Structure 1
Amino acid sequence: MRSFAVVPAAGESRRMGRPKLLLPWGDSTVIQTVLAAWQASRVDRVLVVVRPDDAELAEVCRRAGATVVVPGESPPEMKRSIQLALHEIHHRHAPTDADAWLLA
């Protein structure tokens, strides 16, 4: 069995006024803390869906070892981000019935 963590990170952070996932959290950022927690778990792969115009977030996620999914256009809702990640899992990893995905 393999497990995949899906992190939908393509929101626009409108209420925060700036990318909330890049805000400080302890000694790192919110997204680095989330990714470190997943990587410390037993998941086999962490996938993060980011907006096409969010190069900084994509780079932080790549440096942390995550697979970054960048769609052609920003997903209108979280459901679409999850669908994009599942599509990536299906096409790159050929999951079996024994495999699982987890939503962060």
Structure 2
Amino acid sequence: MKHAIILAAGGSTRLGHPKQLIRWGDGNLLTHVIQTIAAAGVEQIAVVVGAHQDAIIASVNTDEYPPVRWLRNEDWRDGQSTSLRLAIHELQSQWSEHDAILIALCDQPAIDTEHYAALIDTVISGDFASSATQYPSGAGVPACFSAAILRLLELHGDQGAKNWLRTQPPDKVHLLQCPAAACDIDSPQDEIHLRRRSLRSGQG
């Protein structure tokens, strides 16, 4: 079975307003990621929210977007790893050992369904227990794990699963290129670039 956890609990402090609610396409960044991941064949999607959680949940019309399970992280200020720990704790009883769990962020709108599907299919096939996106600095998210691996991760601070991915031998993590993953939204300048991109692509 294919699952996804979308980490959307951050406070967007550098940006100054919730990045999850930035307009994109017919909705916002979060609804776009939900739709894109659902199109990859994911059967269960959980979204971890923290800051601005009520406004974010209200922005997702369940009549228009795939149904999601909302997980509220009251410890979101302590870093991204708290969101992933919460999701693993709440969801792992639903996973079979060989299920694939995709970990994604809400602020990488240029990533397409094909990349998410490739990460998931690598794990579902059994060739690798984990797959990740290749960055110049090493492996990162979006990434996908077998349930057996994800249950064993030790997560600390704001690093999420990245530290684990980058300490694994090359034959343990399948890396996939995705230049579009470099487009993320952390600062006002990033949002300006995003709006320019949306005008060119017709998404705005």
TM tier, shorter chain?
0.7 to 0.9
Alignment partner, residue 15 of structure 2: 16
Contact 1:4 1:43 in 2 (8 A): yes
Distance 1:45 1:69 in 2: 13
Q: How far did residue 60 of structure 1 move? A: 2.9
Point out where structure 1 has 5 or more consecutive residues left out of the alignment: none
Structure 1: 4+ residue segments shifted above 3 A: none
Secondary structure class of the residue paired with 1:82: helix
Contact 2:75 2:82 in 1 (8 A): no
Q: How far did residue 30 of structure 1 move? A: 0.5
Point out where structure 2 has 5 or more consecutive residues left out of the alignment: 105-204
Query: Which letter maps to 2:6?
Result: V
Percent identity between the aligned chains? 29
Instruction: Compare 21-30 and 54-63 and name the one that shifted more.
Output: 54-63
Contact 2:53 2:72 in 1 (8 A): no
Alignment partner, residue 97 of structure 2: 97
Alignment partner, residue 28 of structure 1: 27
Give matches, 1:1-104, under 5 Å. 2-51=1-50, 53-61=52-60, 63=62, 64=65, 65-71=67-73, 73-75=74-76, 76-91=78-93, 93=94, 95-104=95-104
* Bigger Rg, structure 1 or 2: 2
Distance 2:59 2:75 in 1: 18
Contact 1:10 1:74 in 2 (8 A): no
Q: How far did residue 74 of structure 1 move? A: 3.0
Query: Which letter maps to 1:89?
Result: L
Q: How far did residue 22 of structure 1 move? A: 0.3
How many pairs does the alignment contain?
A: 100
Q: How far did residue 96 of structure 1 move? A: 1.6
Query: Which letter maps to 1:66?
Result: V
Report which structure shows greater RCO (CA 8 Å, sep ≥6): 1
Q: How far did residue 85 of structure 1 move? A: 1.0
The CA deviation string for residues 48-103 of structure 1, in whole angstroms up to 9 with x for no partner, is 000165201123347231110013x2321111101111112114x1x121112111
